[in-house]
């Protein structure tokens, strides 16, 4: 990868000086490259920028070496994905993504292209010689029910268990061999050789979807990677007109509504609360806004009756009344939030063009596999009970999975890697929190409802408290999509690490601009950052992109200052001045801590810093560029032998930030 030695100046809002922030090697935010607007913005406009951008990054490649692959339009933004090609065949992951605004001004580019010419494989070992041969061979494989690939879709179908509405028989899962499509694609091997392969699209029915496969020409079968989409799914449905439909259900935690009268099996005791929901058909529990797939546990045999009828009728059947009511409550809660979230993304935020087809929603009480999930290959959100009935009526689950469905639509190509997947989880928590926070009693936990009904759950992530800091090199340690990574200062959970500062910035903007305008501004800044973002972006790049978008959407620079502070507090943005270590030795008598501060600026910028431990007298020092200096700070009272965490308060210019530090007492 080419190293770009460019430094970009970022203005500190509210201060008079400019602060250099470390520029990453692959992503940059130019202000001086633009194109001529054509009838619309697309490949032609992007192509006209290639010579300037390639010169800027010092590329060994020419504009003609790039093929136009995909375009994502955001809100006032256009993201054009170009790939390196060889003999008109794209080379996977060799991307140059250009982001242009409506004035044809380039505001971001992401250059992730090798700086050597890979050799072409002689093809002596290839078992598959052409795309036609790959497609024909795949048809033979899917005709055999014993092939691993054929069994994999059967496994999907078993989890979803789709039922025929008419007779409740289980629908047989199948591949549509006649509709297989594909195209050749190169991959660069570790020894810098171009290996030819084939990207294949395999449509499925029951569940309907598109499995995307990679077939290395040197292997005898394709790899069953359902998450290798190199083409975007085609749009299935247009949005139907909405009309209101009255329904009843529990829109918030029953414990809050019922207070001390709350019992765990509340639906047996208390009548539902009236709410109203927009549904497309007249008085029927059915929506085409979200396409429901029938599951064994939630069959739709009652869709032609009103909720009140269903609720009252279930009382006459004493044995299963509680179960029926629980299912109804689950269905309505999930439908409500699924509609609300997608409606907000499409109509309020302006991403309707990315949502012509809606994610499908499947509710299951007995699905194997435990957690709720979003399956991009089928565009399905499956909500399962996850060992707790309340999981099915906790809107946090639907909203989190819905966040994934929004995230994949923002990407240029839906390929992924572990870091991008971890960012996707953080985004999904942020997306859910934007809705959950509208309940004034929300306690900041993603699975608040589940926790209330069933105690602590695995998804019990706290999104309102700053608990986790990014650390350098974190990306290399991420290997799974959920959970924690052990860093130098203990475990970091990467979902709240990203979601918490984004939510905090949203709440800051809401304080400034009010609920509607503040939230919309925050969501535009965040969603526009992810729109067209390379899946190979790092957290620091993501954070810089957030600042740039904050500036684009709020020229007053107030939003930028908010994001800078929140991201810095979680260490997602580097500080110019910071302690040398997150661990400090403190004496007990007198209560003092020695902290060494470093000014990372290698240019010539001296910095005046005010620093203090909680509720202690502050110290004020000036550090020259590259200077390192120890200072002694008054400490809070410590107990002998007990290590404790504290927030060091930093004031540089007018910006206050915090830095988590552990104090180890010594005699
Ligand atoms: Zn998730």
DSSP string, 354-392: G-SSPPEEEEESS-TTSS-EEETTTTEEEEE-TT-GGGG
Shared-domain flag, residues 554 and 582: no
- CA 428–ligand 1 middle distance (angstroms): 6
Percentage of the chain surpassing pLDDT 70? Answer: 75
Q: Highest mean pLDDT range out of 70-79, 244-253, 408-417? A: 70-79
Domain boundaries, position 162: 131-216
Instruction: Provide the pLDDT confidence category of residue 292 given band limits of 50, 70 and 90.
Output: very low
List, as ranges, residues with CB under 5 A of the ion ligand 1.
425, 428
DSSP for 269-317? HSPPPEEEEEESSTT-S--SSSPBPPBSSS--TTTTS-HHHHHHHHHHS
pLDDT at residue number 386:
74
pLDDT in tens, 481-537: 777 888 887 889 999 999 999 999 999 999 999 999 999 999 999 999 999 999 899
Query: Does some domain include residue 1?
Result: no
Instruction: Provide the pLDDT confidence category of residue 427 given band limits of 50, 70 and 90.
Output: very high
Instruction: Provide the pLDDT confidence category of residue 296 given band limits of 50, 70 and 90.
Output: low
- CA 447–ligand 1 middle distance (angstroms): 12
Residue 331 backbone phi and psi in degrees, to 5 = -60, -50
Shared-domain flag, residues 318 and 363: yes
Other beta carbons less than 10 A from residue 608's beta carbon:
12
CA 308, CA 245: separation in Å to the nearest integer?
12
- CA 371–ligand 1 middle distance (angstroms): 9
- What is the average pLDDT across 341-349? 92
Shared-domain flag, residues 558 and 588: no
Radius of gyration over every alpha carbon of the chain, rounded to an integer in angstroms: 27
pLDDT at residue number 246:
36
Query: Does some domain include residue 255?
Result: no
- CA 440–ligand 1 middle distance (angstroms): 24
Strands (E) in 46-136, as ranges, are 66-73, 77-86, 89-101, 106-112, 119-120
- CA 416–ligand 1 middle distance (angstroms): 14
- CA 473–ligand 1 middle distance (angstroms): 23
pLDDT at residue number 48:
97
- CA 490–ligand 1 middle distance (angstroms): 23
Instruction: Provide the CA 475 distance to its chain's centre, in angstroms.
Output: 15
CA 111, CA 145: separation in Å to the nearest integer?
43
CA 230, CA 254: separation in Å to the nearest integer?
44
SS3 170: strand
> Token pair of 369, please?
């596999």
> In the 8-state DSSP scheme, what is residue 346?
I
Instruction: Look at the chain and report how many structural domains it folds into.
Output: 5
- CA 188–ligand 1 middle distance (angstroms): 30
- Asked whether residue 260 carries a pLDDT value surpassing 90, the answer given is no
pLDDT at residue number 498:
97
CA 344, CA 355: separation in Å to the nearest integer?
11
pLDDT at residue number 267:
40
- CA 232–ligand 1 middle distance (angstroms): 20
CA 467, CA 261: separation in Å to the nearest integer?
34
- What is the average pLDDT across 307-331? 65
- CA 397–ligand 1 middle distance (angstroms): 9
Residue 179 backbone phi and psi in degrees, to 5 = -105, 15
- What is the average pLDDT across 644-660? 82
- CA 495–ligand 1 middle distance (angstroms): 9
Shared-domain flag, residues 528 and 425: yes
- What is the average pLDDT across 342-366? 83
- CA 108–ligand 1 middle distance (angstroms): 28
Shared-domain flag, residues 601 and 462: no
- Asked whether residue 142 carries a pLDDT value surpassing 50, the answer given is yes
Query: Does some domain include residue 596?
Result: yes
Mean pLDDT of the chain: 78
Shared-domain flag, residues 570 and 581: no
Residue 71 burial by Cβ neighbours in a 10 Å radius (0-12, 13-18, 19+): middle
- CA 481–ligand 1 middle distance (angstroms): 8
Shared-domain flag, residues 425 and 340: no
pLDDT at residue number 85:
95
- Asked whether residue 7 carries a pLDDT value surpassing 70, the answer given is no
Q: What is the CATH number of the domain that holds 13?
A: 3.30.310
Q: Do residues 2 and 111 touch, judged by C-beta distance below 8 A?
A: yes
Shared-domain flag, residues 36 and 163: no
Percentage of the chain surpassing pLDDT 90? Answer: 36
- CA 498–ligand 1 middle distance (angstroms): 13
257 vs 188, higher pLDDT: 188
Instruction: Provide the pLDDT confidence category of residue 457 given band limits of 50, 70 and 90.
Output: low
Q: What is the CATH number of the domain that holds 416?
A: 1.10.390.10
3 vs 222, higher pLDDT: 222
- What is the average pLDDT across 569-581? 87
Shared-domain flag, residues 493 and 567: yes
pLDDT at residue number 566:
94
- CA 621–ligand 1 middle distance (angstroms): 45
Q: How far is CA 238 from CA 234, 353, 357, 478, in A?
A: 12, 10, 6, 38
> Which residue in this structure is represented by tokens 């305008």?
517
- CA 102–ligand 1 middle distance (angstroms): 33
Handedness of CA 597, 600, 604, 606 (dihedral sign): negative
- Lowest-pLDDT range of 52-66, 92-106, 238-252, 340-354: 238-252
pLDDT at residue number 298:
58
CA 363, CA 297: separation in Å to the nearest integer?
7
């Amino acid at each position: 990868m080419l190293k770009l030695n460019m430094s970009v100046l970022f203005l500190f809002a509210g201060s008079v000086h400019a602060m250099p922030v470390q520029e990453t090697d692959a992503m940059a935010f130019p202000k001086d490259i633009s194109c001529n607007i054509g009838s619309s913005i697309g490949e032609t406009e992007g192509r006209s920028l290639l010579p300037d951008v390639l010169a800027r990054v010092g590329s060994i490649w020419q504009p003609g070496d790039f093929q136009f692959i995909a375009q994502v339009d955001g809100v006032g933004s256009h993201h054009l994905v170009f790939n390196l090609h060889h003999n008109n065949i794209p080379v996977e992951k060799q991307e140059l993504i250009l982001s242009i605004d409506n004035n044809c001004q380039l505001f971001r580019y992401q250059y992730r292209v090798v700086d050597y010419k890979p050799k072409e494989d002689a093809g002596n070992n290839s078992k598959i010689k052409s795309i036609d041969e790959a497609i024909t061979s795949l048809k033979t494989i899917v005709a055999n029910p014993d092939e691993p690939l054929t069994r994999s879709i059967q496994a999907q179908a078993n989890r979803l268990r789709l039922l025929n509405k008419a007779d409740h028989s289980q629908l047989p899962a199948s591949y549509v061999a006649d509709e297989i499509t594909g195209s050749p694609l190169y991959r660069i091997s570790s020894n810098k050789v171009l290996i030819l392969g084939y990207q294949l699209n395999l449509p499925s029915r029951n569940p309907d979807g598109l499995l995307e496969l990679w077939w290395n020409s040197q292997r005898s079968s394709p790899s069953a990677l359902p998450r290798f989409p190199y083409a975007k799914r085609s749009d299935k449905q247009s949005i139907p007109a909405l009309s209101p439909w009255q329904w009843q259900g529990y829109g918030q935690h029953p414990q809050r509504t019922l207070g001390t009268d709350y019992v765990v099996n509340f639906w047996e005791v208390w009548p539902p609360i009236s709410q109203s929901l927009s549904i497309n058909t007249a008085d029927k529990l059915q929506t085409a806004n979200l396409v429901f797939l029938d599951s064994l546990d939630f069959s739709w045999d009652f869709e032609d009756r009103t909720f009140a009828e269903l609720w009252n009728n279930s009382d006459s059947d004493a044995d299963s009344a509680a179960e029926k009511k629980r299912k109804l409550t689950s269905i309505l809660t999930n439908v409500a939030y699924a509609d609300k979230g997608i409606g907000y993304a499409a109509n309020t935020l302006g991403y309707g063009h990315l949502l012509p087809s809606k994610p499908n929603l499947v509710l299951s009480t007995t699905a194997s596999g435990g957690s709720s999930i979003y399956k991009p290959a089928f565009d399905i959100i499956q909500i399962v009970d996850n060992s707790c009935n309340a999981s099915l009526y906790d809107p946090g689950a639907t909203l989190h999975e819905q966040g994934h469905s929004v995230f994949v639509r923002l990407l240029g190509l839906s390929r992924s890697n572990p870091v991008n997947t971890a960012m996707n989880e953080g985004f999904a928590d942020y997306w859910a929190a934007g809705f959950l926070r509208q309940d004034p009693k929300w306690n900041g936990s993603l699975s608040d409802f589940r926790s209330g009904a069933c105690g602590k759950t695995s998804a019990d992530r706290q999104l309102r408290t700053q608990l986790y800091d990014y650390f350098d090199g974190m990306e290399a340690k991420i290997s799974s999509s959920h959970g924690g990574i052990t860093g130098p200062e203990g475990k970091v959970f990467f979902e709240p690490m990203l979601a918490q500062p984004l939510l905090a910035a949203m709440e800051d903007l809401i304080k400034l601009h009010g609920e509607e305008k503040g939230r919309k501004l925050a969501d535009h800044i965040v969603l526009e950052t992810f729109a067209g973002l390379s899946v190979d972006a790092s957290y620091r790049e993501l954070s810089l992109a957030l600042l740039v978008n904050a500036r684009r959407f709020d020229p007053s620079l107030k939003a930028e200052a908010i994001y800078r502070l929140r991201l810095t507090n979680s260490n997602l943005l580097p500080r110019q001045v910071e302690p040398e270590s997150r661990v400090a030795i403190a004496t007990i008598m007198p209560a003092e801590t020695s902290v060494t501060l470093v000014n990372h600026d290698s240019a010539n910028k001296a910095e005046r810093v005010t620093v203090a431990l909680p509720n202690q007298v502050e110290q004020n020092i000036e550090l020259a560029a590259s200077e390192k200096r120890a200072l002694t700070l008054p400490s809070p009272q410590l107990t002998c032998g007990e290590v404790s965490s504290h927030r060091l308060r930093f004031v540089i210019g007018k910006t206050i930030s915090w830095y988590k530090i552990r104090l180890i007492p010594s005699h």
